[in-house]
Amino acid sequence: MRAGYISLFTEPDIPVILGVNKIPALRGSIYDSKGRLLASDSIIYEAWLDLGYLRLATSSDQIERVLRNIELSYGIPYEILHENLQSTKNFLLLGTTPTNDEMQRKITPITKRYISLEMQRERLSFSEYGLDRILGKLDKGGVPLNGIELSYTEELSGKEDGLIRRTLTSTVREEPTNGSDVYLSIDIDIQKMVYEELLSTVEKNMADGGVALLVESKTGKVLAYAGTYNWDVGLMGIFEPGSTIKPLIYSLALQSGSITETMTFNCDGRIQPVPGLDIIIRDTEGERHGIQTFREAIINSCNVATVQVGGKILNTLGKEEMYRQLNNIGFGRLSGVDLPGETPGIMPEAKDWSLISPYQFPIGQGLGVNIFQMVKALNVFPAGGQFLIPTFARAIRSNDGLLNIPKKVDGTLFSSQLVSTMLPIMESVVIEGTGTMAKVDGVRIAGKTGTAQKAGPGGYNEETYFSLFFGFFPVENPTYTLY
């Protein structure tokens, strides 16, 4: 009786649903700082043959006609189609097209009842100039693996799928709620320039590889990030900062009252920091700088003077506080950059220091950093003492509008007065010191050079090293910071 009731007395105003198709919610797009598209979703249309339904066809002749039609429309050999029909599969993917109309044209009256169309998402991403490392990628299931795709997946992910409902009398379409768009501070033109210049420099110097990071000095927003290695060395690798650490060490020494600007240091080319310990620290080229003022020690990148400064910091602060201050500068902790997978580097706790440690750290040995940590720390000089976290995202656009992402300030590292003391000294490094190769006519550039021998299980390798440079310009109004 119930079956008969349903058959005879169906309410006339309730539409009979013939089919429902999902409209996938699209992942948000990613744009550069000028609104140029870097990554986006597109819809592709898939045609699926219902093998199970086809097997129920009334005759072998009907099956052959269907398969021959499919062979002509989709270019799949009849033999392969027949082989799949004889298998235990229920469905076979016939092909994909970028438009629904194109797919519909492939369906004939004979094949129509056996073929269903599905809409799927496909992620397209700009991969040139090292952008693939920044943007990241998704696996085949649409799960983000790395990069901005992973960092901002909550914002980018589609919110709710839409539907197309077909009834006897109408077709109803419910639009999906797509993900939000992310706008980066990256500029494709600048990224291209930095990437190509880096490649050229690596090739010219016959180096193993190189990494470069360019940020806005006053905001920490990343304008370009490039590397030539086959993995993300800048984010996930570590290196010793060498002499690029020295402006931070001298600033710490001044701020803690360990030294004064009028203090001088004697350099005879070598120093034994710990009496009775057979470890000698020399200047890179074996120079004997003689009496060095505070300013000259930085300009000439004098190791011997800097070791003495390290000793004075140790005497003033003690091991525990010296460690805490170095950790505050960012050594041994994440920079906070909005890319996943960052290494915190290596900064041994005070209890793990050897006798030589407090004298090695000031010349950039015995600790490991990544490029984001170094840019965050050294950028305090052009940023007026502010500790800015390097960030890639500038804005997020959702259905509610555009949300600008402000600069991320991690406190103040040094006073503006101390920074004002250091700026002319760092400019002199480029004018007359170890950084003269960075000079550009008409542009005031400040910076610091560094050379770090590559450390291994057996100690330092004298034949292999990292060549480092940190700089910012123009000095009168710092805009760009590069490492």
DSSP 169: S
Average pLDDT over residues 288-303: 95
90 SS3 class: coil
Average pLDDT over residues 297-305: 96
pLDDT score at 236: 97
Q: Give me the amino acid identity at 168.
A: L
pLDDT score at 91: 95
Q: Give me the amino acid identity at 306.
A: T
The string of DSSP codes covering 245-297 is GHHHHHHHHHHTTS--TT-EEEESSEE-SSTTS---EE-TT----EEEEHHHH
pLDDT score at 461: 65
- How many C-alpha atoms does 474 have within 13 Å on its Cβ side? 7
Given a cut of 60, whether residue 369 has pLDDT beyond it is yes
With bands split at pLDDT 50, 70 and 90, how would you rate the model's confidence at 120? confident
Assigned token pair, 339: 């890319």
Given a cut of 80, whether residue 441 has pLDDT beyond it is yes
pLDDT score at 103: 86
Mean of the per-residue pLDDT values of the chain: 91
With bands split at pLDDT 50, 70 and 90, how would you rate the model's confidence at 457? low
Given a cut of 50, whether residue 232 has pLDDT beyond it is yes
pLDDT tens-digit profile of 49-84? Answer: 999 999 987 688 899 999 999 999 999 999 999 999
pLDDT score at 1: 35
Given a cut of 90, whether residue 460 has pLDDT beyond it is no
What domains can you pick out in the chain, each with its CATH number? Answer: 43-122 (3.30.1390), 188-482 (3.40.710.10)
What percent of the chain clears pLDDT 90, i.e. is strictly above it?
Answer: 79
d(CA 425, CA 418): 12
Given a cut of 80, whether residue 478 has pLDDT beyond it is yes
DSSP 362: G
With bands split at pLDDT 50, 70 and 90, how would you rate the model's confidence at 5? very low
Consecutive H or E run containing 139: none
pLDDT score at 364: 96
Average pLDDT over residues 190-197: 98
pLDDT score at 166: 73
Average pLDDT over residues 109-118: 90
Find out whether 28 and 181 touch, Cβ atoms under 8 Å. yes
110 SS3 class: coil
Assigned token pair, 311: 């000793």
Nearest alpha-carbon partner for 481 in 334, 375, 374, 394? 375
With bands split at pLDDT 50, 70 and 90, how would you rate the model's confidence at 156? very high
pLDDT tens-digit profile of 126-144? Answer: 999 999 999 999 998 889 9
Find out whether 220 and 391 touch, Cβ atoms under 8 Å. yes
Average pLDDT over residues 384-396: 98
Rounded to two decimals, the pTM is 0.87
